[in-house]
């Protein structure tokens, strides 16, 4: 497979729509119940406290109404979803040991190749379970832990118990509760004090079973003075019935650490992608969410940073691309709980062929948080008359001694700009590609080079045929 | 390196051109011929239709050609797209260059340069970067310019110099320069003028220099001067006509009935 991950991940023709006939080792019946939750916990042979958390979360899930804001979720049928499907008995540590069909899938997606070329470690989740997980040996020796979440719970129960739900409590929202009740898989990443992981670690999430619900749970703990860049990608087969992806990602960035979390989301356009991502940044720590949403039917996702102590910094740079039948309701939330904290939100959205993007963001500054600096910029580009974009920015600023700027723009492809580029020899199609590439450059420039090149190629592909 | 051979002669002809925008007639029968190596100055008061002429020559979609023709090397280009005209070696230096955030000057120009050339004349990244540096140096443009986003946050003068840089890099056969001199201080004007003259002398570029003020013509000596009023050329002559205009202004010309 010569094609790289992102070429595969991002193709406008959606070339990852294939599915394989992998027999599940175990699968719960469709629908959600206490029995299903107990079943999942039992299969995983979990400690009692985790089962109790799951059961409580299930009650919270039932008690909370569906969100009345954001995208239309009325068509989700919770009884028509498979909540747990286990493809293998345990994660392999070598691609050789991954069952053939699944290995083929990940090879088609370019994962082993990417791992060899430029990753410090890789994980691969297939439906509910992680089927592969590996970390570069030198990092393992330095004490870095990169495991699937289930193994993380078994091998580092004290850490998981301490931080699980500490950033995103189950009461936070209906889908965080659902995830807590039925979570399976995801990554557990622990970076010891002062350790810098020089190249990214990657986890790839693949849904294969029809009507699958994927509920991975990821936890990243960066000890003081450490740094790490975690990348996640995802895709799914082309089915005509809906799937649900509802992950929870918690990041704890301790003093002076830096965590970058990069997402390239490219689910097929029948997936509801309802994800809660949040980080706590302590003294002088920086958390950077780089969040790219290309696929899915509906995405509701607002990566958040809680700035807990002075010197903490939160950044969210995102792009959303909504094509036919897609609604990307995405944005960012920053909470300044301490003085001398800073934040940056840059959101870029593109809608075409009747797609819809919504920027939804919150900037909160607590009464005691003086000398806060924040810069919010959201720009929407609408490529045709059928498409739409909304901007819903909330600001709650409770301290006067702050420096905050907010800028929002909505634009269409400027005919004068097209003419300018055409006069330099660019065809109309190339001119549009160039303008869009320039538009998302603030996002692309933060990607590792291999991904940046492919993302630009993807955009070219997405733009093909859009010349009106 | 250039798109044409030294000996090649090109000619842009505008014949009885009438054009309108939003239903309003702006060009009322323009006749003009610009050949390789010639510098034509087109001078006229504001609102006389000078910029419209440049836009129509380059194929702006908002303008409707009512009658007449624009020919390049004897063939009508009215059916050509703007990029088709660029392929033939036409260039328009914009009065108000547009900002393209996220696209660096270097990347933009390399892509533009290569797509205007056949495979064997295209330049790989490193070669082009050297080529671009030389061009920037000759126009007194700082090296850091190459990595800035095209016209994004540029001052008025920087935008104009960037247009000249683009022209110097793309090396067109015939260039239309729409009020390139406005917004330039004297020093910048001299540099721009030197650049244009260099292109005329070395590559035989033909120039249609559209301007409101005679000032630039002291730095780029035109071979022909045309006075443009009410959408057509009222009077043509040599450099002395520009000097006369400098003295008397357009005032004496305007009352003359069309």
pLDDT tens, chain A, 468 aa long: 333 444 444 445 676 778 878 888 888 999 999 999 999 999 999 999 999 999 999 999 999 999 999 999 999 999 999 999 998 888 898 998 898 888 888 888 888 888 888 888 899 999 999 999 999 999 999 999 999 999 999 999 999 999 999 999 999 999 999 999 999 999 999 999 999 999 999 999 998 888 999 999 999 999 999 999 999 988 888 877 889 999 999 999 999 999 999 998 888 889 999 999 999 999 999 999 999 998 899 999 999 999 999 999 999 999 999 999 999 999 999 999 999 999 999 999 999 999 999 999 999 999 999 999 999 999 999 999 999 999 999 999 999 999 999 999 999 988 999 999 999 999 998 999 899 999 999 999 999 887 887 777 766 766 664 433
Of B12, B14, B99, the C-alpha closest to B50 is B14
pLDDT for the residue numbered A460: 73
Q: Do B61 and A425 touch (CB under 8 A)?
A: no
What tokens does B6 get? Answer: 């030294």
Q: CA B168, B174, B175 angle in degrees (round to 5)? A: 60
pLDDT at A111: 86
A424 contacts B98? CB cut-off 8 A: no
Q: What is the DSSP letter of A246?
A: -
Asked whether the beta carbons of residue A419 and residue B82 sit closer than 8 angstroms, the reply is yes
A437:B103 CB<8 A: yes
CATH number of B11-248: 3.40.50.300
Phi (first) and psi of residue A54, to 5 degrees = -60, -45
Q: CB-based contacts of A380: which residues, under 8 Å, 6+ apart?
A: A348, A349, A350, A351, A357, A359, A389, A391, A408, A409, A410, A411
Interfacial A residues in 155-194 facing B (CB < 8 Å): none
Kindly report the nearest CA distance between residue B106 and chain A, in angstroms. 13
Which residues have C-beta within 8 Å of that of residue A197, sequence separation ≥ 6? A120, A139, A144, A191, A226, A227, A228, A229
The span from the CA of A411 to the CA of A138, in Å, is 48
| Among candidates A422, A427, A437 on the partner chain, residue whose Cβ is nearest the Cβ of B102 | A437
CB-based contact A438 B92, cutoff 8 Å: no
Q: Which of B81, B97, B102 sits opposite A422 (nearest CB)?
A: B81
Closest-CA residue to A421 (of B124, B83, B220): B83
Tokens describing residue A2: 């010569």
Q: Which residue of A has its CA nearest to B176?
A: A423
Choose among A417, A423, A428: nearest Cβ to B100: A417
Residue of chain B nearest A428, judged by CA positions: B83
Contacts with B87 from chain A: Cβ below 8 Å: 425
Contact (CB<8Å) A425/B100: no
Determine which helix (DSSP H) or strand (DSSP E) holds A158, and give its type and residue range.
helix A157-163
What length is written for chain A? 468
Q: H or E element: which one contains A10?
A: helix A5-10
3-state SS assignment for residue A48: helix
A310 to chain B, any CB pair closer than 8 A? The answer is no
Nearest CA in chain B to A433: B103
CB contact under 8 A, B170 and A425: yes
Shortest CA distance from A444: residue in chain B: B102
Q: Are B58 and B176 in contact (CB under 8 A)?
A: yes
By CB neighbour count within 10 A (0-12 exposed, 13-18 middle, 19+ buried), where does B177 fall?
Answer: buried
Tokens for A236, please give them: 């799914």
Looking at residue A76, what is its pLDDT?
Answer: 94
pLDDT tens figures, B16-72: 999 999 999 999 999 999 999 999 999 998 889 999 999 999 999 999 999 999 999
Q: How many whole angstroms separate alpha carbon A207 and alpha carbon A81?
A: 13
Residue B253 is predicted with a pLDDT of 58
Residue numbers in A near B98 (CB within 8 A): 414, 416-417, 420
Contact check, Cβ <8 Å, A424/B85: no
Q: Per DSSP, what are the bridge partners of residue B71?
A: B13, B76
Contact A115, A122 (CB under 8 A): yes
Burial class (CB in 10 A: 0-12, 13-18, 19+), A19: middle
Count other C-beta atoms under 10 Å from residue B104's C-beta: 18
Give residues with Cβ within 8 angstroms of A179, minimum separation 6. Answer: A57, A215, A217, A246, A247, A248, A276
Of B61, B97, B102, the CB nearest to A438: B102
The DSSP 8-state label assigned to residue A136 in this structure reads -
Q: What is the pLDDT of residues B112-122, one digit of tens each?
A: 999 999 999 99
B75 within 8 A of B68, measured Cβ to Cβ: no
- The total of other beta-carbon atoms located within 10 Å of residue B124's CB is 9
List C-alpha distances in Å: A104 to A86, A92, A391, B75, B165.
Answer: 18, 14, 42, 57, 51
SS3 A306: strand
| Closest Cβ opposite residue B103 in set A419, A438, A442 | A438
Are the Cβ atoms of A425 and B101 closer than 8 angstroms?
Answer: no
Q: How far apart are CA B42 and CA B13, in angstroms?
A: 14
In the block, tokens 């406005």 appear at B182
Contacts of B168 in chain A (CB under 8 A): none
Q: Are strands A145-148 and A187-191 parallel, antiparallel or unpaired?
A: antiparallel
Residue of B nearest to A426 (CA): B83
Cα(A270)–Cα(A207) distance, integer angstroms: 12
Task: Check: CB of residue A195 under 8 Å from CB of residue A145.
Answer: no
Least CB-CB distance to A425: which of B86, B94, B98?
B86
d(C-alpha B92, C-alpha B167), whole Å: 8
* Alpha-carbon dihedral B34, B40, B41, B44, rounded to 10 degrees: -30
| Cα Rg, chain A, nearest whole Å | 21
Subunit contact B112:A435, Cβ cutoff 8 A = no
Q: What share of chain B is helix, strand, coil (3-state, %, to 5)?
A: 35, 30, 35
User: For the residues of A322-347, what is the DSSP string, one character each?
Assistant: E-TT-EEEEEEEEEE-SSS-EEEEEE
Work out the minimum CA distance from A245 to partner chain B, whole angstroms.
33
Task: With H, G, I as helix, E, B as strand and everything else as coil, classify residue A124.
Answer: strand
Under a CB-based contact definition with an 8 Å cutoff, are residues A332 and A360 in contact? no
Indicate yes or no: CB of A423 within 8 angstroms of CB of B58: yes
Binding-site residues on chain B for chain A (CB distance < 8 A): 58-62, 81-83, 85-87, 91-92, 94, 97-98, 100-103, 108, 111-112, 115-116, 149, 166, 170
What three-state secondary structure class fits B151?
coil
Structure tokens at A353: 């062929």
Lateral strand order in the sheet of A286-293: A129-135, A121-126, A201-206, A227-235, A258-265, A286-293, A313-322, A342-351, A372-382, A402-412
As a whole number of Å, the end-to-end CA separation of chain B is: 46
The reply to whether A19 touches chain B by the CB within 8 Å rule is no
Taking the CA atoms of B238, B244, B249 and B254 in sequence, report the sign of the dihedral they define. Answer: negative
ipTM entry: 0.94
Which residues of chain B does A415 touch, with a Cβ-Cβ cutoff of 8 Å? 61-62
Q: Are the Cβ atoms of A420 and B97 closer than 8 angstroms?
A: yes
Could you read off the pLDDT of B134-176 as tens digits, one per residue?
999 999 999 999 999 999 999 988 999 999 999 999 999 999 9
Give the pTM. 0.87
Give the residue carrying structure tokens 């009065």. Answer: B95
B83 → closest Cβ in A416, A426, A439 = A426
Partner B contacted by A441 (CB < 8 A): yes
Write out pLDDT tens, residues B206-255. Answer: 999 999 888 889 899 999 999 999 999 999 999 999 888 888 887 765 54
Q: Where are the domains of chain B?
A: 11-248
Please tell me which residue of chain B has the smallest CA distance to A429.
B83
Q: What residues have CB less than 8 Å from A358, skipping those under 6 apart? A: A70, A71, A327, A328, A329, A330, A331, A389, A390, A391, A392
Pairing of strands A298-301, A271-281: parallel
Report which of B64, B82, B79 is spatially closest to residue B27, judged by C-alpha positions.
B64
Residue of B nearest to A425 (CA): B83
- Identify whether the C-beta of residue A255 lies closer than 8 Å to the C-beta of residue A282: yes
Q: Which helix (H) or strand (E) holds B11?
A: strand B11-21
Query: pLDDT over 90 for what percent of chain B?
Result: 79
User: What would the two tokens of residue B234 be?
Assistant: 């009222």
């Amino acid at each position: 497979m010569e094609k790289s991950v992102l070429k595969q991940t991002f193709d406008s023709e959606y070339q990852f729509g294939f599915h394989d006939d992998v027999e599940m080792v175990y699968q719960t019946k469709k629908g959600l119940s206490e029995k299903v939750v107990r079943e999942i916990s039992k299969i995983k042979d979990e400690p009692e406290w985790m089962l109790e958390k799951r059961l409580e979360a299930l009650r919270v899930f039932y008690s909370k109404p569906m969100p009345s804001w954001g995208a239309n979720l009325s068509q989700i049928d919770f009884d028509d979803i498979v909540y747990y499907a286990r493809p293998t008995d345990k994660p392999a540590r070598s691609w050789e040991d991954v069952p053939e069909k699944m290995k083929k899938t990940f090879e088609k997606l370019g994962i082993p190749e990417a791992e060899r070329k430029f990753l410090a470690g890789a994980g691969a989740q297939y439906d509910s379970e992680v089927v592969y997980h590996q970390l570069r040996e030198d990092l393992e020796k330095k004490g870095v832990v990169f495991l699937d979440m289930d193994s993380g719970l078994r091998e580092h129960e004290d850490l998981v118990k301490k931080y699980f739900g500490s950033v995103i409590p189950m009461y936070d929202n209906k889908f965080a509760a659902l995830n807590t009740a039925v979570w399976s898989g995801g990554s557990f990443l622990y970076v010891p004090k002062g350790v810098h992981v020089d190249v990214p670690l990657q986890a790839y999430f693949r849904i294969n079973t029809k009507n699958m619900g994927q509920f991975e749970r990821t936890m990243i703990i960066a000890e003081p003075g450490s740094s790490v860049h975690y990348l996640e990608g995802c895709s799914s087969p082309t089915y005509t019935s809906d799937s649900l992806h509802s992950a929870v990602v918690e990041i704890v960035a301790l003093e002076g650490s830096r965590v970058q979390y990069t997402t390239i989301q490219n689910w097929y356009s029948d997936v509801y992608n309802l994800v809660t991502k949040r980080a706590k940044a302590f003294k002088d720590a920086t958390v950077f969410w780089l969040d790219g949403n290309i696929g899915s039917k509906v995405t509701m996702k607002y990566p958040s940073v809680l700035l807990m102590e002075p010197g903490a910094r939160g950044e969210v740079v995102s792009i959303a691309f909504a094509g036919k039948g897609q609604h990307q309701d995405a944005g960012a939330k920053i909470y300044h709980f301490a003085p001398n904290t800073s934040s940056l939100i840059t959101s870029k959205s593109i809608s075409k062929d009747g797609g819809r993007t919504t920027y939804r963001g919150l900037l909160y500054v607590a009464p005691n948080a003086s000398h806060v600096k924040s810069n919010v910029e959201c720009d929407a580009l609408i490529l045709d008359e059928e498409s739409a974009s909304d901007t819903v920015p909330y600001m709650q600023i409770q301290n006067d001694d702050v420096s905050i700027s907010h800028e929002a723009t909505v634009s269409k492809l400027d005919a004068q700009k097209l003419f300018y580029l055409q006069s330099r020899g660019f065809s109309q199609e190339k001119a549009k590609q160039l303008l869009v590439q320039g538009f998302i450059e603030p996002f692309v420039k933060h990607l590792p080079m291999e991904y940046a090149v492919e993302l630009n190629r993807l955009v070219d592909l997405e733009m093909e045929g859009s010349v009106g | 390196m250039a798109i044409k051979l030294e000996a090649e002669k090109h000619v842009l002809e505008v014949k009885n051109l009438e054009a309108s925008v939003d239903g309003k007639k702006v060009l009322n029968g323009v006749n003009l011929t610009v050949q390789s190596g010639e510098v034509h100055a087109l001078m006229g008061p504001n609102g006389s239709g000078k910029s419209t002429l440049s836009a129509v020559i380059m194929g702006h979609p908002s303008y409707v050609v009512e009658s007449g023709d624009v020919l390049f090397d004897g063939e009508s280009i009215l059916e050509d797209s703007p990029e088709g005209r660029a392929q033939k070696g036409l260039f328009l230096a914009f009065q108000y260059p547009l900002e393209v955030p996220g696209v660096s000057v270097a990347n933009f120009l390399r892509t533009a340069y290569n797509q205007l050339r056949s495979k064997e004349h295209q330049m790989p990244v490193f070669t082009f970067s050297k080529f671009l540096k030389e061009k920037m140096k000759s126009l007194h443009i700082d090296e850091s310019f190459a990595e800035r986003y095209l016209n994004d946050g540029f001052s008025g003068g920087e935008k104009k110099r960037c247009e000249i840089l683009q022209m110097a890099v793309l090396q067109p056969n015939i260039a239309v320069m729409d009020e390139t001199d406005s917004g330039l201080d004297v020093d910048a004007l001299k540099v721009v003028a030197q650049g244009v003259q260099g292109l005329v002398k070395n590559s035989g570029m033909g120039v249609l220099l559209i301007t409101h003020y005679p000032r630039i013509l002291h730095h780029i000596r035109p071979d022909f001067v045309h006075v443009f009023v009410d959408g057509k050329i009222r009077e043509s002559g040599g450099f002395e006509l520009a000097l006369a205009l400098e003295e008397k202004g357009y005032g004496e010309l305007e009352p003359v009935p069309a």
